[in-house]
């Protein structure tokens, strides 16, 4: 069963297609940025105060939340 | 002449404003960031200002009060590109003030309850963090991995409880140390398809380690773009959170795009680490959000609005006096950002 879990990942990596210069423009769209910020972000960062279990890509301070145990 | 005093490579200035607002709670954050490139070096700095406004309303005893607080945060990072595939970054950040709205509410509760005792003192929350990361472009342009390590120390607003043995109130823990690490891998699978995997680990004082995994997929088809994300976070003995989101973007004119998304989140309630219980019960939240982006290349502006609802499970007898803090709410989120590259 464990091997089956890794099969999609293995298939994905080995199935990579070459990416040319022309393709880089398409891949530079914000939708392909998984840690976008500023004008290239889609969501407000303030909702993390409500959803404390949502993983953050930020490496900033822990937040000093006295009630977020 | 101005360029003589600044970096010779690409520079960017970004300004962002965000609002999270409900009937009785509002948070506003304003942030400005600057980044500049000089040869293999990239310097990035940011300053943010947050304003909190809350209509404090006790359940059992005390008085209704309008609470306002302000927080300032600054950060600086320096990145060195070593070769075509490896770069390293050092980061530092610090803040002064409350970092979130809930501890403002609970601090007011303790102030109203214990403020007449001479042993009580007002909180002075602040903190700082150090971080380092390594970016490895293992397949330049298509495959990338980012390894993060961080340490932070937070001086928090403590909880207070009455100690009958000494006949006076005493504060709980007043500082927290956190060590965190993460690995994020991103892989382009085809010119129209990309996936990313994010693994996180975090250990905070007096708590078990918190571990998370999240997977994101993005695809494009003509003017349309799609992104989906799902993740899980767990912490012993009983914290479990799952979340997911979906997003569609439409590039309807050469410089214009619109997006519409939906996301959902739920967890089983926070874990009581020690002392008085001011922790959030289990929560379910969902948000529908959308926005517009105009991008000319050097100048970009984006704005969005979201409608977020939070549903908490009923509080237990131990912490029912925080019922107005952890009540169901309908929130509206606003976001406006502009950047200029030169």
DSSP for B250-271, please give it: EEEETTEEEEEEEEEEEE--PP
Q: Which residue of B has its CA nearest to A10?
A: B189
The residue in chain A having the minimum alpha-carbon distance to the alpha carbon of residue B293 is: A39
The DSSP output letter for B164 is T
Across the interface, do A62 and B127 touch by the CB < 8 Å criterion? yes
Closest partner residue to B127 (CB to CB) among A24, A27, A64 is A64
Q: Which residues pair with B193 in a beta bridge?
A: B190, B219
Interchain CB distance below 8 Å, A34 and B259: no
Could you tell me the residue ranges of all domains in chain B? 7-341
Distance from CA of B26 to the nearest CA of A (A): 11
* Closest Cα in chain B to A56: B200
Instruction: Work out the minimum CA distance from B107 to partner chain A, whole angstroms.
Output: 9
Using the structure block, give the residue that is written with the tokens 């900033």.
A60
Residuewise pLDDT in 10s, chain B (342 residues) = 455 667 888 999 999 999 999 999 999 999 999 999 999 999 999 999 999 999 999 887 889 999 999 999 999 999 999 998 999 999 999 999 999 999 999 999 999 999 999 999 999 999 999 999 999 999 888 899 999 999 999 999 998 988 999 889 999 889 999 999 999 999 999 999 999 999 999 999 888 899 999 999 999 999 999 999 999 999 988 899 999 999 999 999 999 999 999 999 999 988 765 445 668 889 999 999 999 999 999 999 999 999 999 999 988 777 788 889 999 999 999 999 999 999
pLDDT of residue A10: 52
pLDDT at A59: 36
- B7-341 belongs to which homologous superfamily? monomeric porin ompg (2.40.160.40)
Listed residue (B176, B56, B69) closest to B106, CA to CA: B56
Task: Give me the total of CB pairs closer than 8 Å, taking one residue from chain A and one from chain B.
Answer: 235
- Distance between CA atoms of B332 and B309, rounded to whole angstroms? 9
Distance from CA of A28 to the nearest CA of B (A): 10
Cβ contact A30–B251 (<8 Å)? no
Query: DSSP readout, B82-121?
Result: -SSSEEEEEEEEEEES-SSHHHHHHHHHHHHHHTTSTT--
Q: Least CA distance to A33: which residue of chain B?
A: B218
- Predicted confidence at residue B331, as pLDDT, reads 98
Give B295's contacts in chain A (Cβ within 8 Å): 39
Give B65→chain A minimum CA distance, Å: 20
The per-residue pLDDT for B140 is: 85
Residue A40 has pLDDT above 80, yes or no: yes
Residue of A nearest to B52 (CA): A46
B337 contacts A41? CB cut-off 8 A: yes
* Mean pLDDT across A36-54: 91
Exposure string over B281-312, b if 16+ CB within 10 A, otherwise e = bebebebebbbebebeeeebbbebbbebebeb
Contact criterion met (CB < 8 Å) for A39 and B195 = no
pLDDT band at A8 (very low <50, low <70, confident <90, very high): low
Q: How far is B270 from chain A (nearest CA, A)?
A: 6
User: Phi/psi of residue B321, each to 5°?
Assistant: -70, -5
More confident residue, A1 or B163: B163
CB B178 within 8 A of CB B208: no
Given this model, what pLDDT does residue A63 score? Answer: 40
Q: Which segments of chain B are extended strands (E)? A: 11-21, 25-38, 41-56, 65-81, 86-96, 126-139, 143-155, 160-163, 168-171, 175-190, 193-204, 210-221, 224-235, 239-253, 256-267, 283-295, 299-312, 329-341
Band (pLDDT 50/70/90 cuts) for residue A11 is: low
The pLDDT of residue B270? 82
pTM (2 decimals)?
0.88
- The pLDDT of residue B271 is 74
* Chain A residues inside the 8 Å CB shell of B214: 55
Q: Are B145 and B107 a contacting pair, CB within 8 Å?
A: no
Separation in Å, CA of A2 to nearest CA in chain B: 17
Paired tokens of B199: 């693994």
A55 by DSSP, 3-state: which?
coil
Determine contact, residues B228/B219, Cβ cutoff 8 Å.
Answer: no
**Which member of A32, A55, A66 has the closest CB to residue B194?**
A32
pLDDT of residue B317: 76
Interchain pair A43, B259: CB under 8 A: no
- Residues of chain A positioned with their CB less than 8 A from the CB of B148: 59
pLDDT score recorded for residue A50: 92
Average pLDDT over residues A37-62: 78
ipTM for the whole complex? 0.87
């Amino acid at each position: 069963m464990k091997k089956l879990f890794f099969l999609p990942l293995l298939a994905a990596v080995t199935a990579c297609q070459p990416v040319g210069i022309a393709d880089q423009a398409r891949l530079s769209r914000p939708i392909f940025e998984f840690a976008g910020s500023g004008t290239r972000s889609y969501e407000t960062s303030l909702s993390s105060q409500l959803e404390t279990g949502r993983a953050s890509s930020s490496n900033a301070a822990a937040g000093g939340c006295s009630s977020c145990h | 002449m101005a360029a003589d005093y600044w970096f010779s490579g690409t520079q960017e200035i970004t300004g962002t404003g965000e609002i999270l607002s409900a009937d009785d709670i509002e948070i506003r954050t304003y942030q400005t960031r600057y980044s500049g490139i000089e040869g293999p070096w990239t310097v990035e700095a940011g300053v943010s200002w947050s304003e909190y406004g809350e209509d404090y309303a006790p359940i059992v005893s005390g008085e209704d009060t309008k609470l306002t607080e302000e927080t300032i945060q600054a950060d600086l990072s320096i990145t060195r590109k070593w070769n075509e595939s490896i770069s390293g970054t050092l980061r530092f950040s610090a803040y002064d003030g409350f970092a979130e709205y809930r501890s403002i509410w609970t601090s007011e509760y303790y102030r109203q309850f214990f403020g007449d005792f001479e042993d009580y003192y007002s909180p002075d929350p602040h903190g700082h963090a150090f971080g380092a990361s390594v970016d490895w472009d293992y397949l330049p342009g298509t495959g990338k991995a980012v390894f993060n390590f961080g340490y932070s120390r937070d001086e928090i607003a403590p909880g207070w409880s009455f100690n009958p043995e000494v006949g006076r109130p005493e504060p709980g823990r007043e500082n927290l140390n956190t060590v965190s690490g993460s690995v994020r891998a991103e892989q382009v699978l085809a010119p129209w398809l990309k996936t990313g995997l994010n693994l996180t680990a975090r250990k905070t004082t007096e708590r078990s380690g918190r571990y998370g995994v999240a997977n994101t997929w993005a695809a494009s088809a003509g003017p349309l773009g799609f992104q989906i994300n799902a993740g899980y976070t767990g912490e012993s003995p009983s914290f479990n959170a799952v979340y997911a989101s979906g997003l569609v973007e439409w590039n309807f004119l050469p410089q214009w795009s619109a997006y519409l998304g939906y996301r959902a989140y739920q967890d089983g309630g926070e874990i009581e680490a020690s002392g008085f219980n001011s922790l959030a019960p289990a929560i379910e939240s969902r948000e529908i959000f959308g926005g517009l982006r105009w991008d000319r290349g050097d100048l970009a502006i984006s704005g969005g609005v979201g409608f977020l609802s939070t549903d908490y499970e009923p509080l237990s007898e131990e912490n029912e006096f925080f019922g107005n803090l952890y009540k169901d709410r309908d929130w509206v989120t606003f976001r406006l950002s502009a950047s200029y590259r030169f």
